[in-house]
Amino acid sequence: MKGIILVDPYKCLGCKSCEIACSINRSSSKDLSFATLSKNPPGVKVKQSRNFIVPLQCYHCEAAPCMAACPAKAIRKDEKTSAIIIEQSLCVGCNACVIVCPYGIPELKYNKGGTIKCDLCFSRLEKNQKPACVCGCPTGALKFETIENLFNERIR
Amino acid sequence: MKNINEIQMYQQRFESQKPQCGFGLLGICCRNCALGPCRISPFEEGAQLGVCGANADTITARNFLRMVAAGASAHSDHGRAVAETFIKVAKGEAPGYEIKDEYKLLKLAFEMGIKIDGLKKEEIALQVGEKCLAEFGKQEGSLILTKRAPLKRQKIWTALNIVPRGIDREIVEALHRTHMGTDQDYLNLMLHASRCALGDGWGGSMIATELQDIMFGTPVPVRGRVNFGVLKENCVNIIVHGHEPLLSEMIVLAAEDPQLVQMAKDKGAEEINIGGICCTANEILMRHGIPIIGNFLNQEMAITTGAVEIMAVDVQCIMQSLPLVASCFHTKIITTSEKAKITGAIHISFTEENAFEKAKEIVKMAIENFANRKKSDISIPEQEMDLVAGFSHETISYILGGMFRASYKPLNDNIINGRIRGVAGVVGCNNCKVVQDSVHLKLVKKLIENDVLVLQTGCSAIACAKEGLLDSIRGLDFCGKGLREVCEAVGIPPVIHMGSCVDNSRILVAATALVKEGGLGDDISDLPAAGAAPEWMSEKAISIGQYFVASGVFTIFGVTWPTLGSENLTRYLFNEIENQLGGKWAFESDGEKIAQLMIKHIDEKRKKLGIDRARERILFDMEMRRQL
């Protein structure tokens, strides 16, 4: 499966279900009660400015500035899904990606050993599952669409 | 000692909570059983029914009813504590407390059908206390004090079968009905919300007010001061914070103890200074003229002045962050109620029997803590304001009519002749989602400018006091011409402080007195009156609002409204409920617009009463008189 996460901010109620779903998916147990113990930070953040609430995921840019900036070559592009992924084992926590990202997506977590950001749930996509945040959204504010579908819809 | 810059105060905590969950805000989140938690999507996509089949109407109604039940519990449990103390006072088991207002005791005894012939006041008090306490556990019939309501109102309640039977019973039934798979008709749930809330307003809260008045004295007008400036740098400062006056009354008494005053002087302090926060502040202001430091959102800030030796708290509206803030200063936080302990605070158990001794212990601790102050930490804002408080129902009728013909007649006359346009109750909390006090002030100023007399309780009264509206001279500057004339003639401020949040029952009694005085219809819903809680935040506010609506008052809440997830329930509360009960809810967050809504409602009621136009004044000559 190949596609992008679409956000409809008018439908986002700020319930942070996507954050929870993301944290669970990043945990090894994949279970809420155990995931709370491992305290995995989510790759999606629900942010508010005035009355406007929006969940922020990585946009997985075609020409990703973070990938170009990473001195440790820890950021790579997944062939099948086009997801931009940080390889945690290579990340040195230098903050270069945090500095260059135009959307303020990567977040440095020292205690977790590196920088964290959305990986488009590429391992789920390989199994033909939608990203965890999309599945966790109760109002349909988050959607997963292929670029072709989106393009065709916009043209219509 | 921690640094104050390292900890979060409520503003930062609010920021880090953002965004707050929209399901909760709209009231469409249900976690009453383990099939859930379920959420109803307010949009077309997404779930429209919970696992059990409950829809948005049922879920919002259940949540609303649970809020009413929790609010009614808070007021009523306060009332119960007062009744228990009252009984101990009557038995002579509570040293320090006494029966101060015998007149009110006799009046209440008469209302409760107690024979008083040849009985001593303690014996009467015992019977009154036991009867009041029995109201909580009563299973059938109706609460005695609901008989105070206008007859037409009582008939409406009886017809709908919502006369509260017992205070506790209605609360338990509310929890039963909202249990999984029980009451699933939002209209039926709302009828019980009215019943439960009436058990608060005309039951628990009213008992609390009545018995407190008898025990501590019915408030009479008293001068006081408000705002941070009342904290004194060279005094031992003790803050009492919370709701029940049982504790604060004793601390006030203990602070006058000559031995302790001398001890404070020996430690280099000039005197022992007591200040209040929240409704405890209102209670001791009304009865002793003790200064008020601020309202709900001022509690953390009060500690950061660095000049507070002790903050003694009891129940309700106490932030858990107080011990954390206090850890940056020398201040000690003391919890006193078995019902309310806070991790990190010192607990001193406070019972009726040892109340005075424990109060002395607290004052002594404060004096000893005076030496631990850090001079560099002290920064007390200078702001201070005068105010007049202490307007109980009894006092108002005395002011208006004197000792022997105490009545509301002059007020009714002035409402009828249009000098006073109507009466508004503006009550309620502070809410961090708006600038503190701003909506209260905007609303109240607009109301008095339009000749609406404002009755206040709780944190709202403190907000207006800080602005000077409760001062009988300064307040007049904000008044319309008609209201000013009346206030000057009677000698009252245009904004009348009636007490703490359980004292909203005083507003019910005052409204009933206006009806019974005649000329303004025969029910509370006929009065040119409206209510508002523009910065509400607690469940108690919802309970208060619901008993006002169920008593026939148009009530407007600001900031946020907890049933917006259900169109049907919201329409019922904002419109259809008026056909049943004569009162209704409204939601509006702008102070100016709330005032407009209230004034519009008042004008409509005036029109219905036929007092919307000044009547032509005809001088009757002898011929006309003969024809009469």
Which of B14, B17, B20 to mutate against chain A (most A CBs within 10 Å)? B20
pLDDT of residue B602: 96
Q: How far is B23 from chain A (nearest CA, A)?
A: 7
Cα nearest neighbour of A11 on chain B:
B43
Mean pLDDT by 10 residues, chain B (628 residues): 89 90 91 93 86 96 97 95 94 90 94 90 94 95 94 96 96 97 96 97 95 93 94 95 90 93 94 94 93 95 95 95 95 94 94 90 95 92 93 90 86 92 95 95 96 95 95 91 92 93 94 92 95 96 97 96 94 96 95 96 94 76 85
User: What sign does the CA torsion over B163, B167, B169, B173 have?
Assistant: positive
Q: Looking at beta carbons, which residues of chain B come within 8 Å of A11?
A: 43, 45
- Domains defined along chain A, listed by start: 1-57+118-156 (3.30.70.20), 61-116 (3.30.70.20)
Structure letter (DSSP) for residue B203? I
CB contact under 8 A, A140 and B18: no
Distance CA B628, CA B624 (A): 7
Of the partner residues A12, A14, A140, the one whose CB lies closest to the CB of residue B20: A14
Element (H, E) at A46: strand A45-49
**What is the pLDDT at residue A130?**
92
Cα(first)–Cα(last) distance of chain A, in Å? Answer: 23
Q: How confident is the model at residue A46 (pLDDT cuts 50, 70, 90)?
A: confident
Comparing alpha-carbon positions, the chain B residue that sits nearest to A8 is: B43
A113's tokens? 């050993």
The per-residue pLDDT for B280 is 93
Q: Are strands B38-39 and B29-30 parallel, antiparallel or unpaired?
A: antiparallel
Q: How far is CA B426 from CA B76, B81, B316, B456, B596, in A?
A: 21, 27, 20, 5, 14
What class, spelled out in words, does domain B406-609 have in CATH? alpha beta
Q: What is the mean pLDDT of chain A?
A: 87
Q: Nearest-CA residue of chain B relative to A53?
A: B19
Q: Does B399 touch chain A (CB under 8 A)?
A: no
* Residue B570: half-sphere exposure toward Cβ, Cα within 13 Å: 15
Which chain A residue's Cα is nearest to B20? A14
Cα separation, B460 vs B443, in Å, equals: 11
Confidence of residue A110 (pLDDT cuts 50, 70, 90): low
What are the two backbone dihedrals, phi and then psi, of residue B552, each rounded to the nearest 5 degrees?
A: 100, 20
Q: Within an 8 Å CB–CB cutoff, is residue B46 touching chain A?
A: yes
Query: Which residue in chain A is spatially nearest to B41 when comparing CA positions?
Result: A139
Residue type, B597: L
B332 in Cβ contact with B311 (< 8 Å): yes
Residue A16's pLDDT band, with cuts at 50, 70 and 90, is: confident
* CATH classification (class only), B55-216: mainly alpha
Q: B interface mutation test: which of A15, A50, A135 has the most B CBs within 10 A?
A: A15
Q: Which residues of B touch A53 (CB under 8 A)?
A: 19, 22
Closest CA to B206 of B144, B162, B160, B154: B144
Q: Among B516, B557, B545, B526, which Cα is nearest to B423's? A: B526
Residue of A nearest to B46 (CA): A139
How far, in Å, CA of B246 to CA of B78, rounded? Answer: 10
- Would you tell me how many other CB atoms lie within 10 Å of the CB of residue B438? 13
Query: B542-553 as b/e, with b when 16 or more CB fall inside 10 Å?
Result: bbbbbbbbbbbb
- CA-nearest residue to B29 within chain A is A15
Gap between the Cα atoms of B558 and B575, Å rounded: 17
Tell me if B22 and A15 make a contact (CB, 8 A cut-off).
yes
Nearest residue on chain B to A55, alpha-carbon basis? B19
Residues 6+ apart with CB under 8 A from B548: B201, B425, B504, B507, B508, B531, B555, B583
Q: Residue B214 corresponds to which amino acid?
A: I
**pLDDT for the residue B537:** 96
Using the Cβ of B26 and the Cβ atoms of chain A, whether some distance falls under 8 Å is answered with yes
| Alpha-carbon span B196 to B65, nearest angstrom | 8
Q: Which residue has the tokens 């039934």?
A: B173
Which residues of chain B from 490 to 549 reach within 8 Å of chain A, CB to CB?
Answer: none
Mean pLDDT (whole number) for A124-152: 89
Please tell me if residue B34 touches chain A, with a CB cutoff of 8 Å.
no
ipTM greater than 0.85, yes or no?
Answer: no
B420 DSSP 8-state letter: S
Rounded to whole angstroms, how far apart are CA atoms B102 and B125?
9
- The yes or no reply on domain B228-377 and CATH 3.40.50.2030 is yes
The sign of the dihedral angle between the CA atoms of B206, B207, B212, B215 is: positive
Angstroms from B585 CA to nearest CA on chain A: 25
Specify the domain boundaries for CATH 1.20.1270.30 within chain B.
55-216
pLDDT score of A112:
61
Round to whole Å and give the CA distance between B458 and B455. Answer: 11
Is the alpha carbon torsion for B241, B242, B245, B250 positive or negative? negative
Residues B533 and B427: beta-carbon distance below 8 Å: yes
Structure tokens at B93: 């088991």
Cβ pair B21:A15 closer than 8 A: yes
Residue-level pLDDT at A68: 93
Token pair of B570, please? 């919201």
Contact (Cβ atoms closer than 8 angstroms) between residue A26 and residue A133: no
In DSSP terms, B557 is beta-bridged to B533, B587
The tokens for A3 are: 């596609």
Rg (CA), chain B: 25
Q: Report which of A9, A17, A40 is spatially closest to residue A107, judged by C-alpha positions.
A: A40
Whether the Cβ atoms of residue B315 and residue B448 lie closer than 8 Å to each other: no
In percent, the amount of chain A with pLDDT more than 90 equals 34
Max CA distance (Å), chain A:
48
| Contact across the interface for A11 and B43, Cβ inside 8 Å | yes
CB pairs under 8 A between A and B: 41
Per-residue pLDDT at B615: 66
Rounded CA-CA distance B440/B540 in Å is 18
Q: Between chains, do A14 and B45 touch, taking CB under 8 Å as contact?
A: no
Write out the residue limits of the CATH 3.40.50.2030 domain(s) in chain B: 228-377, 406-609
- What is the spatial distance between Cα B179 and Cα B34, in angstroms, rounded to a whole number? 12
Chain A partners within 8 Å of B43 (Cβ):
11, 139-140
Q: Under an 8 A CB cutoff, do A13 and B45 touch?
A: no
On whether any CB of chain A is under 8 Å from the CB of B43, the answer is yes
CB atoms near residue A63 (< 10 Å): 6
Choosing among A8, A12, A13, A56, which should be mutated to test the B contact, i.e. which has the most B CBs within 10 A? A13
Any A CB within 8 A of B610 CB? no
Tokens for B571, please give them: 């329409």
The closest of B160, B158, B165 to B187, measured between CA atoms, is B160
Q: Report how far apart, in Å, the C-alpha atoms of B277 and of each of B46, B101, B300, B347, B388 are.
A: 45, 26, 10, 19, 17
Length of chain B: 628
- Which of B19, B25, B46 faces A48 most closely, judged by CB atoms? B19
Cα Rg of chain A (Å, integer):
15
Considering only CB atoms, A138 lies closest to which of B18, B20, B39, namely: B39
